[in-house]
Chains A and B, each alone.
Chain A
C-alpha cells in the first residue's frame, strides 16, 4: 500500500527522491479521508515551496484541505492532468496523480520525514483514538 521508497509527512503527503529531484503527492489515506476529490490548486512551475508550509490545496465535495510541502525547493513541473481530472487523486494517489516535481534545495530535510513503516504506525495510532 505505502511504497518503501517514499518518505511521508504526518500531514499525509509523500515525497519520492530521484537524485536532486523530489516528486510530491498525497497519500492513499489522505484521499480516502477526503472522499471524492473535485479540485486541486497547485503552485506554478518556477515558484518555490518551503518545507512545512502550504503549497496548495485539494478539495473534495465536502471539504477543503491544505497541502503542506514535505521539502523545500523550486517547482520544476506540475501535473497538469489533475486540473481536468482531479478524481485521479482518488484512483492513483501514489502513482499517476503525483502533484509536483521539485528541485530539492536541502536534501537533508528528507531525513526528518517518516519511513513507510513509521507512517503506517502513525496512521494506526491516529485511527485508534
Chain B
C-alpha cells in the first residue's frame, strides 16, 4: 500500500471548512483542495442516481463577456451557434485552437443580448481567459469573474424538490439547459437546469459569502429525501456513466470535437470561427480515431492510460476507466481507430501488463428515464 499527501498552497473554496467538518477526504484537484468523498463514492453515486446529491463545484471558473460586440466574440471563439441562444438559455460548447483541438470545454449562458456567462474548467480558467482576450478583436468586455461566484450542483431525481423548498422560483418551469436569475433563501443566484451527472438537477451560481449558508440549507432541505454531500469521486463516476467528457482525459489540445463524438457542438454553417478550417476537412474526410465506450469481459478494472489493443495490435489508450457503481460493471472510454469502434468489437486492455478482454458497447452507459 502506498498513500500520498502533498500540501502546497492549494486554493480553497468558500465551503472548505464545512467539508472538513463533514469529514470529507480532501485531494489536490488541479491546484484546489477539494472533497473527493464524504460517506463513500458508491453511496454518494447511488444517492445521485436514486435521490439527490449536493456538490461543491466552486473551483469551476467563470468568464463574462459583455457589450454590443459580445456575441461576435463568443461566436468567434466557440464552435456552437451562440446566435441561436435565447435569453436565459445555455448550451455546451468549447474553446478551440485553430487546429480544431480543445483549449477547453465550456457552458455558454446567454444572460441577455449583450451579456454571455461562460462556465469553464477550474484548471483551465486562466488559460481560457487569456485565450479569449487574445482573440477579442471586437472590443467586447471580457471579465475574469471566478472570484465572484461559488457554484453548487444539486443533482438527482429529488434535486428540484429539494431546492424548491428554498426558492420562490418555479424550478419545474425551467427547461433543461435553461436558467433563471432568482434568489435562493434571499441570496441572488443564477439557477441553471444543468449538470454533469446524467441526472436532472440544478447548478447554482451565487456570491461566495452566501455559499456556506445555502450549502447547509440544501442539506437540511434534502435530509428527508436522503440527500448526501458528494465529492469529486462520485462526480467522476457519474459523468463517466453518462459519457460526459472530462478535459485532460477525453478531450485536450490534440483531440477535436468530431473525434470526441461531440460533433453536435460544431456548427460549420454558422460562419467562421477558430478551428473551423481543419474541422471542415475532417468532416469531409472522416476522423481517423473515435471515442468509444467499453465494458470489461475479464476480471479487472481498466484505468486511465492503460494500453488498448485489437487482435494484439496497439490501438489506443484508456482515457477514463472505473467500476460503474450503478451498473455494477467495469467500464471505460478509449480512443479506437475509426472503423474498429463498432458495437461488439472485441478489444484487449493491458492491466499491469496482463491482457484483459473487453468489448465496445453503446454509450452513454447510463441514460436517465425522462
A residues in contact (CB < 8 Å) with B: 9, 11-13, 26-27, 29-30, 33, 35-36, 38-39, 41, 57-62, 64-68, 126-127, 129
Contacts and interface: CB of A to CB of B under 8 A. Distances in A.
B172 interface: no
B65 to A, nearest CB: 36
A13 B7 CA distance: 24
Contacts of B43: 36
B7 A129 contact: yes
B42 interface: yes
A86 to B, nearest CB: 10
A30 B1 CA distance: 7
B25 interface: yes
A39 B300 contact: yes
Contact of A12 (B1, B233, B236): B1
Interface in B23-65: 25, 36-37, 40-43
B352 to A, nearest CB: 7
B1 A126 contact: no
Contact of A61 (B2, B7, B322): B322
B301 A38 contact: yes
Given A35-B25, A39-B323, A61 B42 contact: yes
Contacts of A62: 36, 41, 233, 236, 322
Q: How large is the interface on B (under 10, 10 to 19, 20 to 34, 35 or more residues)?
A: 20 to 34
A12 B303 CA distance: 23
B301 A35 contact: no
Contacts of A66: 1-2
Contact of A68 (B1, B36, B40, B323): B1
19 contacts: A11-B1, A12-B2, A13-B1, A33-B3, A35-B41, A36-B40, A39-B323, A57-B352, A59-B301, A59-B323, A61-B237, A61-B323, A62-B233, A62-B236, A64-B301, A65-B3, A126-B3, A127-B5, A129-B5
A65 B352 CA distance: 12
B263 interface: no
Nearest to B354: A41
A57 B2 CA distance: 11
A57 B301 CA distance: 11
Please list the 8 inter-chain residue pairs (A to B) with the smallest Cβ-Cβ separation, ordered nearest first.
A12-B1, A61-B41, A30-B1, A36-B42, A11-B1, A38-B323, A33-B3, A36-B40
Contact of A36 (B5, B41, B299): B41
B248 to A, nearest CB: 16
Nearest to A64: B303
A66 B25 CA distance: 20
B5 to A, nearest CB: 6
Nearest to B1: A12
A123 to B, nearest CB: 10
A35 B3 CA distance: 12
